[in-house]
Amino acid sequence: MTTEAVTSEPGQRPIGVAVLGHGTVGAEVVRIIRDDATDLEARIGAPLELRGVAVRTVRDDRGIPQDLLTTDAEDLITRDDVDIVVEVIGGIELPRKLVRAALDSGKSVVTANKALLAEYTGELAEAAEAKRVDLYFEAAVAGAIPVIRPLTQSLAGDKVNRVLGIVNGTTNYILSAMDETGADYAETLAEAVRLGYAEADPTADVEGFDAASKAAILASIAFHTRVTAGDVYREGISKITAADLTTARALNCTVKLLAICERITTDGRDRVSARVYPALVPREHPLAAVNGAFNAVVVEAEASGRLMFYGQGAGGSPTASAVMGDLVMAARNRVHGGRGPRESRYADLEIAPMSDIVTRYYVNLQVADRAGVLSAVAAEFAKRDVSIAAVRQEGAGEGARLVVLTHCATDKALSDTVAALDQLESVIAVTSVLRLEGSAE
């Protein structure tokens, strides 16, 4: 059996595209639209024509005709010959204004803007629905890795219970390098900046803001509930030490910044948890082998079981690939009269507070090197029903440390325990608290 490409019918009206932004991703999108015009037309069933590119400053070194460049994005997106708007500017307020204007004008929109979607998916989805146009955003999470479409389409008939992933390449590069070299956080971050894996101001990445935006999007889709970035519990990696990685290796684990979106059922009631934090991950877990700037997302659903999506999660070409996939889908819908999946929020589940989340913990304590310390520490865990699975004692004298690994406990119980340990005379400092995810328990 042979499969023939869709070809455009004679006289088929071209699909006009406006691109907002000409940075790393925008430039690659523009290049693909122009260089692959013949293939794109065959896949869509109509020519795809670039109507204009909105930029801050018109320059002659952008490699595209000057008459396609404009600083008036609002005029561009409302033109009659524009059918689809691609937003790759970044930020929130300006893109929100432009995307909303495009949707209100009856244009379909493709965006890679996770920060925008994590705050305003509901507003934008309602605007798209009002005009019966598409809002696509595959590129907003994990770059070229297809995650959004499987959740909205392939798994639409299944019940997703958990989405667990490494969704930020910068932090994964830093933690992988610390694990491999034994270097500390500050040294590894400086190297990541030098190599271009981290921005000069890496706050959004290393403090978990970027991953939290992506977690909000994934949770919203997986659990049919509007989840915003403000609903996501967030911790970054800036407090991770070389000692944490050393202890992780001794426990046959590594450390990863995880985005976790989970359906929690208690007393027959479903709730949603969305959280981002660095966690110990056992070496045998598939996410432990995801190193460097790569991303991976594991989806656990009732009928399909565990699915893993892996690949390049950032960069101009991978992100542009995801943008182009959405652009082709939106263009096909324009040609053939279809529409993409709309927002699904029928479940409207309550967001579970972090204090209710149950997991295992690793607690690193600097302690006085004298008799009775272990029993005093163990007593504080026992008072709050936090069961200890294992204890390691490392060093001596002023460098004495206790490493405690717990069984499952609530976040509140562990937080109360840590607060009590801080008050013990024999505990000099609680130096690290990490959760353990992906274990068999």
Task: Give catalytic residues, as residue numbers.
Answer: 214
Asked whether residue 20 is marked as a ligand-binding residue, the answer is: yes
Residues 254, 245 contacting (CB under 8 angstroms):
yes
Asked whether residue 26 is marked as a ligand-binding residue, the answer is: yes
Which residue(s) pair with 270 in the sheet?
265
Structure tokens that stand for 361 in this block: 């913990």
Structure tokens that stand for 414 in this block: 């562990």
Asked whether residue 27 is marked as a ligand-binding residue, the answer is: yes
* Distance separating alpha carbons of residues 364 and 343, to the nearest angstrom: 43
| Closest by Cα among 12, 25, 83 to 51 | 83
Each residue of 136-171: b (16+ CB within 10 Å) or e?
bbbbbbbbbbbbbbbbbeebeeeebbbbbbbbbbbb
Asked whether residue 199 is marked as a ligand-binding residue, the answer is: yes
* Distance separating alpha carbons of residues 315 and 104, to the nearest angstrom: 30
CA angle 402, 406, 407 (to 5 degrees): 165
Cα 155 to Cα 138, 174, 296, 322, distances in angstroms? 15, 33, 18, 19
Asked whether residue 25 is marked as a ligand-binding residue, the answer is: yes
How is residue 72 annotated by DSSP? Answer: -
Asked whether residue 22 is marked as a ligand-binding residue, the answer is: yes
Asked whether residue 114 is marked as a ligand-binding residue, the answer is: yes
Residues 57, 123 contacting (CB under 8 angstroms):
no
Cα Rg of the chain (Å, integer): 25
Residues 15, 44 contacting (CB under 8 angstroms):
yes
* Distance separating alpha carbons of residues 407 and 384, to the nearest angstrom: 13
Positions at the binding site: 20-27, 114, 199
Could you list the residues known to form a binding site for NADP(+), using ranges.
20-27
Binding residue numbers for NADPH: 114
Mark the binding-site residues for L-homoserine, compressed into ranges: 199
